[in-house]
Chains A and B, each alone.
Chain A
Amino acid sequence: MTKEAIVQVHDLSKVYEMGEVRVEALRSVDLSIYEGEMMVLLGASGSGKSTLLNIIGGLDRATSGTVRYRDRDLTSADDKTLTLYRRSSVGFVFQFYNLIPSLTARENVSLVSDIAPDPMPADVALELVGLQDRLDHFPAQLSGGEQQRVAIARAVAKQPELLLCDEPTGALDAETGKLVLRVLDKVNRETGITMAIITHNVAIAAIGDRVVRMSSGEIHYIEENAVRASIDDVEW
């Protein structure tokens, strides 16, 4: 691998103390995410994949171990630094889109690009996801797939280095899900944004450069796909 690792996770553990019960969500995880790759994080519910993504995204703190983004240590960063990190370097795509219902597609995108240091215009971001004709529609006027594409446009508009997608197709039917994956694939290829996609759907694994399989808070295996599968060939 010639590419540089933008995220380096070392010996990462996360323990949730829930009353008297200790839940080990992550156990001594080591992982690197490389510039420009599309990584698929595969695992069943409770395998720790969301916890890992949350910590990488600066939403949660590790119990022990380190997470480095480029040359910055996220494990010891304060709340302000993490906000700044999310603001400039990371994009998020949620399972349930989380669009602001009171803003149009274009406004939802510009809401985020407004606070980014070097954003792409909202129209361009929406064109990238194929929604150039739906700029002034409100979320309620868009289908689920369209809403998720607005969410992707919103995430990429600020030109993050890293895009984290948590079950981006989880709330969609297969056809629409594929449409969304196609958009993510396109964004990754055309903009070079590094992507980490969380899914429990094994079929999706084939579209990534690498597949990280998690279970019980540990990385079970990491597999490199020689060729990223075409999304048309994915079936579920």
Chain B
Amino acid sequence: MSSLRSLDRKMLRELWRLRGQLVSIGLVVASAVAMVVTMRGTYEALFAARADYYQQSRFADVWATVERAPESIASDLRDMAGVSSVSTRVSTYATLDLPWLDAPGMGLFLSIPDDGRPVLNDLHITSGRYLAPDRSQEVVVSEAFLTANDLVVGDTVRAVLNGRLQELIVVGGAISAEHSYSVPPGALYPDDERYGVFWISRSLLGPVSDLEDAFNDVALKLASGANPDAVIAELDRLLEPYGGTGAYVREDQLSFKILDDELESNRTMGTAMPVVFLGVAAFLMNLVLSRLIATQRNEIGTLKAFGYTDREVARHFLSYAVVAVGLGTVVGSLGGAWAGGAMVELYGDYFKFPVLEYELSWTLVAIAAGVSLVSAVAGSWSAVRKAVSLPPAEAMRPEPPARFSEGWMERSGLGDRLPNAARFVLRNMTRRPLRALMSSFGIAFSVAILVVGMFMFDGVELMMELQFSIVQREDLAVSFNQPVGREAELELARLDGVTRVEPYHAVPVRFRAGHRERELAITGLRSDSELRKVVSEDGLIHPIPLEGIVLSRLVAERLHLSTGDDVDVEMLVGERAEGVVQVAGIVDDLMGIGAYMELDALGRLTRQAPEISGAYLLVNEDDRARVNGELKRTPAVASVVSPDMALESFEEQLEESLLIGVFFLLGFAGVISVAVIYNGTRIALSERGRELASLRVLGFTRPEVARLLFGEQAILTLAAIPMGWALGYVLAAALAASFQSETYRIPTVVSSTTYLVAAVVTIASALASGMLVRRRLDHLDLISVLKTRE
């Protein structure tokens, strides 16, 4: 047939007539599709980029550091069972002379073989070139450091390598999988201005580090199927005579761990949020389409009377669902692809992968569209089937007056005291309680999504508040290049302006509980420590016990330890003493993971002369900059960190990525609430249009009629708000649980501001929807009311 059939033409006109509603349903689908395509797509892009990066750079599986091992044992390492390749190098920290800063910086210097690229952990050049084989004064520098200091290829940097000032020429900028997250020793967060990674030829770095024909750092690639535990045990045995501090696997490598945590939380967001959205979209379409089609009962009867089959009629009405989903899928895919691209670009600044590209995944589009379509068709189908099952004559007759009978409202006598308008509104709701509940539930979802979106900020804020106002109360944290005697505490105290000094000692250890192991540093603090506290997420301060150890919950859980249990501890430094310590407490802390002991108790455990690895200081505000500079110029000091700086860099890092996510959520929540409320009101208008027009004829003014129509939506919206709050809290708790990582945990706290904003945004959406419908209400056809029903 060449020309359009009448039924198709009717469909096109109906689709046009219902465009507002279909567009709003389509937008919900679009949100869900976009959410899936953006969030999950971003995760997949990051995941692929990381895999690519690790493969390209031949990222190692096992790392170990030693004090000094002769290069000759490298062949023994290569011969170990389960090892496929070995890369040895020299690694050392050096002070950088950065005249444009008020204090010296620090560089991690890593050697590059003279005869080419490293076998493992290769770098990716982002600017300039690689080191030339014969020019030893050349360095390749981490890109972040170059950027932070406005350095370019050709500039020189001066570094004090083993007491000798060396002028180094920057020939290239690079990124490295090993140092995608580079933190100065002793600090918690990156400090790109003062800390960078420098790759330099081994023929220069070896001799200046007293490591000619020797190495202090080794990385291994495992053969496929090798048992990492066995390799580590063997490696530790081989390296022990040379001062090995214990080999560790990828999972304990800082950059890997951070990236893995990031990707994990991205995966959670990329999976959980789309699932929530698809669920909400499915629910909404079911709700809205079934009501929409129920209002077409007359037409369905008429079509059947003309001889159209049930199947043709059903297909006709199911087209609404198909069009809405189709529209949503197209818009959602386009929007999602755009947002995914933007998101990946943003992540690109943060993660620094050599290749990070967002690609629209048709599989994801198909999944999202499929789920939306099934739920839309299912929702429409129940309504279509109900209409189709009526004999045409009955369907064509005006619907008998809706059944109302005496209910609780009348029996309780409450009804008598209410004005008629309120009765009108309440009876309509109580007559179809399930539908009212479902509509309200739909709105509650948008409230919940808002709560979840903003809860992330609340959680992070609380986490930071705990961390930076209770846990870390020092003005400056000093760490030394290596542990020093207790007398350093007195020297620090003598500095002008320093009012309090609290030493700490961090000892790398290996915990063993049964067959479970975990490497970590024990932090020794004084029991009267004021500047550093062990604090759980509820803000409770855990005192440092005089005996025993306090563990982060995450550590205790991984080792299956509870309070009162004994845990074996092997020191990874010095004499490698072994001991047993009792778990005195488990703390639900929020940032990092830790193990804490009283300073003297830790000394007894290590069986060493009392030493400290750093100290926390209180410094008069006016003296802070000076003390900071003075300390940074002290050779024994590895780093000086102020919590303010740390807070800033942490906030910057976290909030940018959060902000984008929240921006999406707000938009989507708005779409959902407008879709539910607008459709609910539109449908209510088509269901009650005749009643309302009658009332207009009888002399009701427009505002009076509007009150009757919007009263119900207002009650549904108001009822949805507390429901949405509760739902939001549950979702937030689930999300927080899935966000547990070793870097940080987000506590389930929802601030009253979040609740308030969620409510306000929802009410605003409701008002906006009301205004959209109000125009139609104002133009009710009063005359048609006097006529027979169509």
From residue 700 to 733 of chain B, which have CB atoms closer than 8 A to chain A? 700-702, 704
User: Residue B785 at the A interface, CB < 8 A?
Assistant: yes
Contacts of A50 in B (CB 8 A): 783, 786-787
Contacts of B398 in A (CB 8 A): 96
Q: Are B699 and A116 in contact (CB under 8 A)?
A: yes
Q: Are A102 and B424 in contact (CB under 8 A)?
A: yes
User: Residue B423 at the A interface, CB < 8 A?
Assistant: yes
A78 to B576, CA, bound (A): 97
Q: Are A100 and B691 in contact (CB under 8 A)?
A: yes
Q: Are B699 and A138 in contact (CB under 8 A)?
A: no
- Decide: A140 near B401, CB < 8 A? Known: A57-B697, A103-B423: yes
A180 to B701, CA, bound (A): 29
Selected contact of A87 from candidates B400, B404, B699, B787, CB within 8 Å: B699
User: Residue B250 at the A interface, CB < 8 A?
Assistant: no
Selected contact of B783 from candidates A59, A84, A98, A111, CB within 8 Å: A59
Contacts of B702 in A (CB 8 A): 83
Selected contact of A107 from candidates B423, B785, B789, CB within 8 Å: B423
Interface flags for A50-91 (1: CB within 8 Å of B; 0: not) read 100110010110000000000000000000100110111011
Q: Are B699 and A94 in contact (CB under 8 A)?
A: no
Q: Are A98 and B785 in contact (CB under 8 A)?
A: yes
- Decide: A112 near B789, CB < 8 A? Known: A138-B401, A140-B404: no
Q: Are B431 and A115 in contact (CB under 8 A)?
A: no
Q: Are B431 and A102 in contact (CB under 8 A)?
A: yes
Q: Are B697 and A59 in contact (CB under 8 A)?
A: yes
User: Residue A141 at the B interface, CB < 8 A?
Assistant: yes
A91 to B697, CA, bound (A): 9
Selected contact of B697 from candidates A86, A99, A111, A147, CB within 8 Å: A86
A141 to B788, CA, bound (A): 21
Minimum CB–CB distance from A88 to chain B (whole Å) comes to: 7
Contacts of A30 in B (CB 8 A): none
Minimum CB–CB distance from A17 to chain B (whole Å) comes to: 15
From residue 388 to 415 of chain B, which have CB atoms closer than 8 A to chain A? 398, 400-406, 410
Interface flags for B126-144 (1: CB within 8 Å of A; 0: not) read 0000000000000000000
Selected contact of A59 from candidates B404, B704, B782, CB within 8 Å: B782
- Decide: A111 near B695, CB < 8 A? Known: A102-B423, A140-B400: yes
- Decide: A112 near B699, CB < 8 A? Known: A96-B398, A98-B694, A138-B401: yes
User: Residue B633 at the A interface, CB < 8 A?
Assistant: no
Contacts of A87 in B (CB 8 A): 698-701
Q: How large is the interface on A (under 10, 10 to 19, 20 to 34, 35 or more residues)?
A: 35 or more
Minimum CB–CB distance from B687 to chain A (whole Å) comes to: 11
User: Residue B607 at the A interface, CB < 8 A?
Assistant: no
A80 to B702, CA, bound (A): 9
Minimum CB–CB distance from B641 to chain A (whole Å) comes to: 69
Q: Are A111 and B424 in contact (CB under 8 A)?
A: yes
From residue 615 to 667 of chain B, which have CB atoms closer than 8 A to chain A? none
Contacts of A86 in B (CB 8 A): 697-699
Minimum CB–CB distance from B185 to chain A (whole Å) comes to: 74
User: Residue A210 at the B interface, CB < 8 A?
Assistant: no
A147 to B402, CA, bound (A): 13
Q: Are B402 and A102 in contact (CB under 8 A)?
A: yes
A175 to B704, CA, bound (A): 37
Q: Are A100 and B424 in contact (CB under 8 A)?
A: yes
Contacts of B695 in A (CB 8 A): 100, 111-112
Nearest opposing residue in chain A for B410, CB measure: A136
A94 to B690, CA, bound (A): 12
A57 to B698, CA, bound (A): 10
Q: Are A88 and B699 in contact (CB under 8 A)?
A: yes
Max chain A C-beta neighbours (<10 A), residue from B424, B697, B704, B786:
B786
Nearest opposing residue in chain B for A87, CB measure: B699
A136 to B400, CA, bound (A): 18
A155 to B786, CA, bound (A): 14
User: Residue A148 at the B interface, CB < 8 A?
Assistant: no
Contacts of B698 in A (CB 8 A): 86-87, 91-92, 112, 154-155
A110 to B424, CA, bound (A): 12
Minimum CB–CB distance from A18 to chain B (whole Å) comes to: 14
Minimum CB–CB distance from B22 to chain A (whole Å) comes to: 26
From residue 160 to 176 of chain B, which have CB atoms closer than 8 A to chain A? none
Q: How large is the interface on B (under 10, 10 to 19, 20 to 34, 35 or more residues)?
A: 35 or more
Contacts of A111 in B (CB 8 A): 420-421, 424, 695
User: Residue B696 at the A interface, CB < 8 A?
Assistant: yes
User: Residue A46 at the B interface, CB < 8 A?
Assistant: no
User: Residue B428 at the A interface, CB < 8 A?
Assistant: yes
Contacts of B786 in A (CB 8 A): 50, 53-54, 59, 92, 94-95, 166
A112 to B705, CA, bound (A): 12
User: Residue A101 at the B interface, CB < 8 A?
Assistant: yes
- Decide: A103 near B420, CB < 8 A? Known: A50-B786, A147-B401: yes
Nearest opposing residue in chain A for B404, CB measure: A138
Q: Are A115 and B699 in contact (CB under 8 A)?
A: yes
Selected contact of A98 from candidates B404, B419, B423, B690, CB within 8 Å: B690
- Decide: A98 near B403, CB < 8 A? Known: A59-B782, A103-B424, A116-B699: no
Nearest opposing residue in chain B for A154, CB measure: B698
Nearest opposing residue in chain B for A170, CB measure: B788
- Decide: A102 near B428, CB < 8 A? Known: A54-B786, A115-B699: yes
A104 to B424, CA, bound (A): 10
Contacts of B697 in A (CB 8 A): 57, 59, 86, 92, 94
Q: Are B690 and A83 in contact (CB under 8 A)?
A: no
Contacts of A53 in B (CB 8 A): 786
User: Residue A48 at the B interface, CB < 8 A?
Assistant: no
User: Residue A139 at the B interface, CB < 8 A?
Assistant: yes
Q: Are B788 and A95 in contact (CB under 8 A)?
A: yes
Nearest opposing residue in chain B for A93, CB measure: B786
Minimum CB–CB distance from B410 to chain A (whole Å) comes to: 8
From residue 21 to 53 of chain A, which have CB atoms closer than 8 A to chain B? 50, 53
User: Residue A114 at the B interface, CB < 8 A?
Assistant: yes
Contacts of A90 in B (CB 8 A): 699
A212 to B400, CA, bound (A): 34
Minimum CB–CB distance from A111 to chain B (whole Å) comes to: 4
Contacts of A98 in B (CB 8 A): 690-691, 694, 785
Interface flags for B505-542 (1: CB within 8 Å of A; 0: not) read 00000000000000000000000000000000000000
Contacts of A141 in B (CB 8 A): 405
Q: Are B401 and A99 in contact (CB under 8 A)?
A: yes
Q: Are B701 and A83 in contact (CB under 8 A)?
A: yes
Q: Are B783 and A101 in contact (CB under 8 A)?
A: no
A112 to B704, CA, bound (A): 12
Contacts of B403 in A (CB 8 A): 101, 138, 140
Contacts of A138 in B (CB 8 A): 401, 403-405
Minimum CB–CB distance from B424 to chain A (whole Å) comes to: 6
From residue 765 to 790 of chain B, which have CB atoms closer than 8 A to chain A? 782-783, 785-789
Contacts of B699 in A (CB 8 A): 83-84, 86-88, 90, 112, 115-116, 158
16 A–B contacts, CB within 8 A, in A order: A50-B786, A59-B697, A87-B700, A94-B786, A96-B788, A101-B691, A102-B423, A102-B428, A103-B404, A103-B423, A111-B420, A114-B419, A115-B700, A138-B405, A140-B403, A170-B788
Contacts A100-B691, A103-B424, A140-B400 aside, 5 further interface pairs with beta carbons under 8 A come to A86-B698, A98-B691, A104-B404, A107-B420, A138-B401
A-B pairs with lowest CB-CB distance, top 6 = A87-B699, A98-B694, A102-B427, A139-B401, A138-B404, A101-B402
Chain B residues close to A by CB (< 8 Å): 398, 400-406, 410, 419-421, 423-424, 427-428, 431, 690-691, 694-702, 704, 782-783, 785-789
Chain A residues close to B by CB (< 8 Å): 50, 53-54, 57, 59-60, 80, 83-84, 86-88, 90-92, 94-96, 98-104, 107, 110-112, 114-116, 136, 138-141, 147, 154-155, 158, 166, 170
